[in-house]
Structure 1
């Protein structure tokens, strides 16, 4: 009887502080998807801006519905064979009590569900940056639906679900290095190998049309990432979430500086695009590792990721794959780097007592990280390529060459990002120019 009383006393109870904290973190992660839309939207040419924004925003709609209907159950339900979950009570979220707690934690199931929903939304949105300028919007929407179902939901179970094989093996992924970034980066590579290059790749200039938008997007991502990372401890009681918060800032700063130094040495300038890309590379790399390393370790993780990702973005020109906005170079490479470095820099004083090679722990954790990294990479790449192939051979993945050259915004959305017809003021706004002048002026607008 005394034992029963002790167990009852030790059972978790709902914490309003942790619940509120996690709801705020969920909102921060949601903000990352519009932030990603701005980041990607500024990096494309004017004629593709709206399409790039919409490729992120549509994920908010599609994945939310899938998650409610069956995604949450597949990812976090009762394990089956260490590869997938299922809980019929969670289908449609119809049998979850308002104060029912997530097992072992002090937050409601609904709070955990919505926090993980935001991860599920942004992961397919990340893929879109590799496909800029050339994919039918309807095909993209169907791809998201299929990809989330057969790739993201199972992989999330492997990595974070109780009973998932990677979870049981001891693969460390604090907030999504494998499940989010490697998963999305490998998927991006698989799809672009199937659908091919943009018209004019390596020939036409394809410079970002708005670097201020890129910097705005990077800033929103950096801000939202604190919820993404610190919130993944699902509470704020023991300091691990605070360590992750600190390491997120430290690694991101180190990666941005390292990218800029590499860029200056290699190309002779410190660019705003390099600063934004370096920051994202640091955010990606610290996502799996931030709960396991010290702040000094976070500097190392960020600096290594900054240099390696900066080097990796040029590989598309060497190997001939058209990764439009460097999803492979930043997310796949950054996710691999951050995940594997846990095996070297884990201090044993963060989320667990696991120590990496440099802290006397040998290579045991490194090999576990390798298993998780390369299994997710291989599965996502192959299945994503198959999905893209099937869609391409049925409904078609790409817009026509004429539509791509003229501009995917007009072809797919019947809109343009900027209305130049109203430029000027006063008499200039209403005056009708001569035909020759109008023609000359229209040629100045960069498609």
Structure 2
């Protein structure tokens, strides 16, 4: 196998394909970026999954607008990411808090080795991280459902991604970021994705105020089947979300995928157990779905750092804590009907805390070269 490609400052775009074979630099490492492209494709399924989940939880008259919003939010974020989002988060000349505009308008984002991994072309890395941003914005706008209008939500999503997601992603995953250099442990986005989106959705709901409809009519999902289908797509997409965050096709990514399924499963069991006790022997499909999502949220920052049994504990504990916050809206006197803060804000904080508590010394170190084809030490956030 040839040596890993190196970034050439004289050719930041990776070379002119009319005069050189730009694929040759990745000879022997193709499966790494092919695997990441596959992960990106399945992460995309989370976007309609969230739309179906929100549509099922809302009232019937709001379901279609939430499905529509899931698609157009992805479109707006794609434009934002190409315009300046990617550069603000992942430019090589970024400061400790935010990137510059070195890659404004996708400048030089072509086939050079990416900032995240020397064996991943930058265009592939950019696509994968774009979908992270799109999923996060989609989660946030759930805080405005049945109150915020679609056009203002799209404008909000564009600027939220710019002033919140991109800086936090830069802190966490850019090698120049201040959290990256502590180093912090956040394998796939407990902070940038879940904590940021959960607290932002809470603020969004607080500013918009409560709906005027009676509370009893607001809390009943109009279509449990849509909730179930959305959860299935989210669960499936999360294999790419966590598994791909290793940024290689090595064994750590396989381990992260196993931990993802484990935490979702124990999360569903934990929430169902709470529901069974609370409702005196009755089960809830919606509760099982929310528990699975809570487990996925909890394991996101820990997926590549913990053993499989600790992943089970993280999913179980996160789901129980989120389920016990069932009356959170009443405590805070807000109307946040999609439970974004409960699942993502509280679940993300639980997952981040448990990552620090349970991360193993083996999980925090790169795998030996005899066990993985990944040629360079992984950045701490991607090990």
TM-score by length of 1: 0.74
Q: Which residue pairs with 1:26 in the alignment? A: 40
Deviation for aligned residue 1:19: 1.3
Q: Which residue pairs with 1:300 in the alignment? A: 313
1:73 equivalent in alignment to 2:82: no
- Partner secondary structure for residue 99 of structure 2: strand
Task: Kindly indicate whether the alpha-carbon contact (under 8 Å) linking 1:201 and 1:322 is maintained by their aligned counterparts in 2.
Answer: no
d(CA) in 2 for partners of 1:46, 1:105: 48
- Within the candidate set 97, 100, 113, 1:86 is matched to 100
Structure with max Cα Rg: 1
Task: Kindly indicate whether the alpha-carbon contact (under 8 Å) linking 1:78 and 1:87 is maintained by their aligned counterparts in 2.
Answer: no
How much is the aligned-residue C-alpha RMSD, in angstroms? 1.7
Q: Which residue pairs with 1:384 in the alignment? A: none
1:267 equivalent in alignment to 2:286: no
1:54 equivalent in alignment to 2:68: yes
Task: Kindly indicate whether the alpha-carbon contact (under 8 Å) linking 2:88 and 2:94 is maintained by their aligned counterparts in 1.
Answer: no
d(CA) in 2 for partners of 1:197, 1:10: 55
- Partner secondary structure for residue 144 of structure 1: helix
d(CA) in 2 for partners of 1:51, 1:303: 33
Q: Which residue pairs with 2:12 in the alignment? A: none
d(CA) in 2 for partners of 1:120, 1:270: 34
Deviation for aligned residue 1:221: 0.3
Deviation for aligned residue 1:352: 2.5
d(CA) in 1 for partners of 2:344, 2:297: 6
d(CA) in 2 for partners of 1:336, 1:313: 17
Deviation for aligned residue 1:80: 4.3
d(CA) in 2 for partners of 1:209, 1:36: 15
Deviation for aligned residue 1:324: 0.9
Identify unmatched segments of 5+ residues in structure 1: 1-7, 354-368, 370-447
Q: Which residue pairs with 1:164 in the alignment? A: 177
Deviation for aligned residue 1:105: 2.4
Alignment of 1:173-322 (within 5 A): 173-237=186-250, 239-268=251-280, 269-322=282-335
Deviation for aligned residue 1:175: 0.6
Alignment of 1:335-346 (within 5 A): 335-346=348-359
1:326 equivalent in alignment to 2:339: yes
d(CA) in 2 for partners of 1:94, 1:129: 32
Alignment deviations for residues 360-398 of structure 1 (CA, whole Å, 9 cap, x no partner): xxxxxxxxx9xxxxxxxxxxxxxxxxxxxxxxxxxxxxx
d(CA) in 1 for partners of 2:48, 2:137: 13
d(CA) in 1 for partners of 2:318, 2:325: 10
- Partner secondary structure for residue 135 of structure 1: coil
Aligned length: 344
Alignment deviations for residues 319-356 of structure 1 (CA, whole Å, 9 cap, x no partner): 21111110011011110000110121111122428xxx
> Which one has the bigger helix percentage?
1
- Partner secondary structure for residue 84 of structure 1: coil
Deviation for aligned residue 1:53: 1.3
Alignment of 1:399-418 (within 5 A): none
d(CA) in 2 for partners of 1:10, 1:116: 22
Task: Kindly indicate whether the alpha-carbon contact (under 8 Å) linking 1:59 and 1:124 is maintained by their aligned counterparts in 2.
Answer: yes
Identify unmatched segments of 5+ residues in structure 2: 7-24, 367-380
Q: Which residue pairs with 1:444 in the alignment? A: none
Alpha-carbon distance change, 210 to 87 in structure 1, aligned in 2, over 3 angstroms: same
Alpha-carbon distance change, 259 to 316 in structure 1, aligned in 2, over 3 angstroms: same
- Partner secondary structure for residue 306 of structure 2: coil
Task: Kindly indicate whether the alpha-carbon contact (under 8 Å) linking 1:22 and 1:235 is maintained by their aligned counterparts in 2.
Answer: yes
d(CA) in 1 for partners of 2:277, 2:324: 12
Deviation for aligned residue 1:81: 3.8
- Within the candidate set 363, 376, 379, 1:350 is matched to 363
Q: Which residue pairs with 2:378 in the alignment? A: none
- Partner secondary structure for residue 149 of structure 1: helix
Alpha-carbon distance change, 87 to 351 in structure 1, aligned in 2, over 3 angstroms: farther
Task: Kindly indicate whether the alpha-carbon contact (under 8 Å) linking 1:59 and 1:122 is maintained by their aligned counterparts in 2.
Answer: no
Alignment of 1:119-158 (within 5 A): 119-158=132-171
Deviation for aligned residue 1:183: 0.7
d(CA) in 1 for partners of 2:184, 2:350: 14
Deviation for aligned residue 1:87: 4.6
- Within the candidate set 31, 40, 44, 2:58 is matched to 44
Alpha-carbon distance change, 195 to 96 in structure 1, aligned in 2, over 3 angstroms: closer
- Partner secondary structure for residue 317 of structure 1: helix
TM-score by length of 2: 0.86
